[in-house]
Structures are given as structure tokens and as C-alpha cells.
Chain A
Amino acid sequence: MPYDSILNWIVFKDPMVNPFYNVYNLPYDIGFKLWEILGGAIAWLINLIFPGNGASKFLVSQEVTGILALVLMVVVIFAVAFVINLTMIWEERKVLGRMMDRRATRVGPLGYLQNLADGLKTFLKENITPSKADKKGYMWALSIVIGTSVLIACMIPLSDRWFIADYGAGLLIIFGLFAIAPFMILVAGWAQNNKYALLGGMRAAAQMISYEVPMLIVFASVTLMAKSFNINDIVAAQVGMWFIVPQILGFIVFMVAAVAEAERIPFDLPEAEAELVEGWQTEYSGMKWGLIMLGDYFRGYVACALGVIMFLGGWMIPFTSWNAIPEIVFLLKVFLIFFVFAWIRAAHARVRTDQILWLGWKVLLPLSVINLLIVLALKIGGMV
């Protein structure tokens, strides 16, 4: 069925018969049922006060239900990504605390609500913009960094039934949006009119660009092996054997590059708080800074999720086809990878600038090329 207008997405009352959702989409279903409850209750109330009006019929009509189910689906997907993000921050703080022999977060049950408390605190802070800053660059760079981070976090599918859209470009678009942030960080560092911010921005750009290259080569070898950019196809290609087995080299390269891309310790040169005050985030205060931190962790989540999708078999349990809640399996794998990130953060000190670039260009790049050659050899030999 050819796609000709946006209405194609909403005229089907039952998501199961919509040819654009040829597989079952759980968030859409949740959104649809939520609107059936919410909209039905609102329509019933309006009809109770003004009997026989058109508004209540309009609210529960097929078209309005379709549109609002899409809106609610987006809200559900974002809320779930947000809660995953909060859980990951909580996990990191707890793990770091235990590794440093101290108690970590304390607010709420097991300290889970600490992040919400911190968010509330940053929300209540004064919103300062430097008077000499370039206002447009200042705000736009921030918006694009946070926006792309949240966008790619929402585009990560949790399973073959939990996704925003099942499209062919898949990983390619996620990687493309992932690579926008370094440029915008440079713009943000320039726009703040602050030497620390500018230095942080330049470091961020140098580091991220040098680590994009091995990451993309690993990504190319994975897609070569799976013969597709589509995330579902990549996961389905790992049924017999996870890609970590033939591509262990690529997995290591990807993980190191992902730590650097997410600007996490030991590669947190852009915000080296001992040298540059807060790096490229120096002049961002209050909720802007809070959103930057949130965006950072969204990027960390995306890095972990990409590692799980590309190497650890996505939402599949090994040695069995039984899989009741694939979303939970996927998230457990993501949290496991993120535990390793937090572990590295607790164990290692910050790396020098020249060492970072040396590692990126002279170690990870040759390793990723060797990985690509291994995949090519396996391909030519007909092993995969």
C-alpha cells in the first residue's frame, strides 16, 4: 500500500489492520486504549451536561482517536525513555557510591527519587544568560544538543513491538543525529563568550570527531554482517550467534568509542572540572545545565543501547526462543553495559588530550579496520 498522506497513519481504527504497522506496536496500542478511556470519560461527561451535542461525538470519532492515540504513543515512549534515563543515573550513582565506599543517593526508596529532587532543585534556580553572549547561538546550540539527544533516545526500540517507527534507515539515522552534537557543542562554546567554554567546545569537537571514525567503521562492519540498517533485521540476524563472538574486537572498540562519545570519565576532557571550570557548559546555569546533564545521560543510554543492539543480541535471550517481556531483557542488558561504564568511571582517571587522540587515531582506528577485514573474510568465506 503506497504512502500518500499523513492521514494514512490515522484512518485505521485497529492498529493491527494498519498496513503501516504490519507488526504489533505496543506503545500505539497503549496510546489507543488510553484515549479510549480518557476521551470516552470526557465525552461521557460532556454528554451528561449538554445532552445530544456534537463535541462528544467528535472526541470519540475515528479520526480524532487516531491522531490522539499517536500523540499519546509519543508521550508514552518519551516517558519510558525518561524513566530509563533516571534509572540509569540512579544506577550509576549507587554503583559509584559502593565502589568509593560511601552511601550514594538517599532520597526516596533506595535513593531512587534523588534525581527528581535534583531536577527540582535545578528547576528552581535562577536562569542566567551572560549579557555578552551570542543569544541565538547560545540558545540554539543548547536546544539542538538536548533535542537530538532526546530524539535518538526515543528512537531506540526496546523490542520488536516497542518502537516509534520501523524504518529501513534505522541505525543510520541514529548515528547521524548522534554526530550532530559535537558541532553544536563547538557552537555553544563559541557563543558563551567564555574562554573555558571555548576551550571545552574545541576539545569536545576534536575528541568526538576522532572517535566518530572508528565507531562508524565498526557500525559498517556490523551492518555488513547483518545485511541491513534496520534495527529489527540486525537483531534478527543474531539469532544463531551474537555479533560479539565474531566481532569481539569491534565490540571493544565500540565500547571505548561510546564512552568517549558520551563524554564520560575517563574521556571527559570537554568538561574537565579540574582545568576548565565546567568545560563547554560553564555559562549554562539552572535548568539549562540540568537539561544538558539529562541529555548527556540520554546519549549514554543511546550508546549502551546501540552496543546491545549491535553486539549483544538486542532483546533476545540466548539458547531459548521463549521471551515473554523482551523489553525487560533489553533493558537488563543496557543496564549491564551501563554498569561497566560506571565501573570504568570509578576506576580510571582522566586521560590527557594527546593520549585521547593517540588512542582514537592510532589504536582504535586500526583495530576497527582489522575488525572490518575479519568480517569481510568471514563474508567471502561464506561463514555468515
Chain B
Amino acid sequence: MTIKYLDKFPRSNARTLWVLKPMWVTLKNMFKTTLHRPVTIMYPYEKEWVPDNYRGRPGLIFEKCLGCGICKRMCPTTCISMIEVDGDDGKKVDRPQVNLGRCMMCGYCAEYCPVNAMIVTPDYELAAYTREELIYGPRKLAWPKHTEMMQVHLKEHLLSDLKNGVTDKPTAFYSIDRPELNDAKCIGCSRCVKVCPTGVIEMYTKGENAAGKPIKRPKFDLAKCVCCQNCVDECPKDALVIKEVL
């Protein structure tokens, strides 16, 4: 009651009674923490609850991964590198390897992964005795108890949609941006077919040149393309560019 009075009339002659306010606050706090419990968590013995989408170390679902390398491209600290490992069926496949000594747990790799094979895990106890132990290979990155919530979905609004007044249609960028062929520069070398992780590129014969050889050009199955830019990087004549949709 006194406190309420002083809150209303802070300049009244009874303002010396302000000393009561901190005492009332501390007494309330004492009863609260005695009846329930203090916020302190006895860390090694008990751990704080973390949500599934907590940004801990990145994890990998090995069988879902395409090996496209978007995570490697997007990593701000360049701690991800693609290495060749034995797949489940014995073939060599490309999979990411994360140097956790440099990882800043931003979760971009999980956010940009087109198939949600890269996930964020609630694992934050990462201390190790050597730096080599901190380099997590594709198998070590696995997190067996992964749930739906550990995937991070990228939602982007298109400028064109916003201009048209559509605000409830978020779209992932890899479903919009597409590689585009500059026909005059292409020499038909088929390198893009070899590097495409999803196998959406096919070479088709466009016609015949003056020497009677077939002119080959890539064709993109745009429904499956994840826009990883591997073909753009590989193209020797810069004939491929990514067309950005705005």
C-alpha cells in the first residue's frame, strides 16, 4: 500500500519510505524461490531443456543428402568441405564434413539445404582434446534421434508477390531460381551433366553443324532442380547463369 502511494506521489513527504520497496521485492522473491526453485541449474547434473530447433552443432541425415554442396557455398565461416566417402551401397559419394572448431552454429547449412538433409541438433557439449577431434566427418555428423523440428526451412517472399499484394505465399529460393543457358556460348561439352547431383540435366541433339556433327545442348528438368550452381561453376565457357526471379 505504501509502495503504491509512493508510486503515485513520488515527491510526498513520506518518500523516505522508499527504503521499503527493495525490501518488499526481495521478500517476494525469497518466498517465490523457496516455494518453487531458483533459476540456477546445477549444470553437470541437470541440464536446461532445449527446444528441438535449438541451434547446436549441425547434423546430417546421410541417406537424404544429395551431395550438392549448397551448405559448403553458404557457410559464412567456410567450415564445411565436401569429401568423398563410401555410401551405403558401396559407391563413392560426396558428403559434407564440418570443422566445428570454426563453426559458429548459425544454422545456415540446415536452412539452405534443399532436401533438409542438413539439420540443427540440440548438441552443445562439443569440447574435445585435440583440434582433429573437432572435424566431424559425414558419419560423425549423424544425429540418430532427429525429428521434424530439427529441420530448418527457408522461407522467402518474392518481390513480385509482395508487389501484387500476395503476402501469404512464402517460397523457397531453389524453387524459383533456375540455371539458364546462353545458347551462343555453349560448346556442348556435357560437363554440366556430370557434375549435376540430382541428375536433372540431359543432353539433347539440337541439330547438325556445318561439319555434320550433332549440336548438343543441355536440357533442365526444372521440377527437380535444386539450383546448386555446380553446373554454372563447372561450365568452361560461362554459358550457364542463374536467373534470379524477383
Contacts and interface: CB of A to CB of B under 8 A. Distances in A.
Contacts of B26: 99, 343, 346-347
Contact of B40 (A103, A344, A346, A347): A103
Contact of B23 (A98, A100, A101, A343): A343
Contact of B30 (A98, A103, A344, A348): A98
Interface string B32-55: 011000111010000000000000
Contact of B25 (A95, A344, A347): A347
A102 interface: yes
A95 B23 contact: no
Contacts of B34: 98
B22 to A, nearest CB: 4
Interface in A80-114: 95, 97-103
Contacts of B38: 97-98, 101-103
Interface residues of B, number: 14
Contacts of B30: 95, 98-99
Contacts of A103: 38, 40, 42
A99 B40 contact: no
B162 interface: no
B27 interface: yes
A321 B38 CA distance: 41
Nearest to B20: A347
Given A101-B33, A348-B19, A348-B22, A343 B27 contact: yes
Contacts of B22: 347-348
B29 interface: yes
Contacts of A101: 29, 33, 38-40
A344 B42 CA distance: 27
B137 to A, nearest CB: 40
Contact of A347 (B23, B33, B39, B42): B23
Contacts of A344: 23
Interface of A: 95, 97-103, 343-344, 346-348
Interface of B: 19, 22-23, 25-27, 29-30, 33-34, 38-40, 42
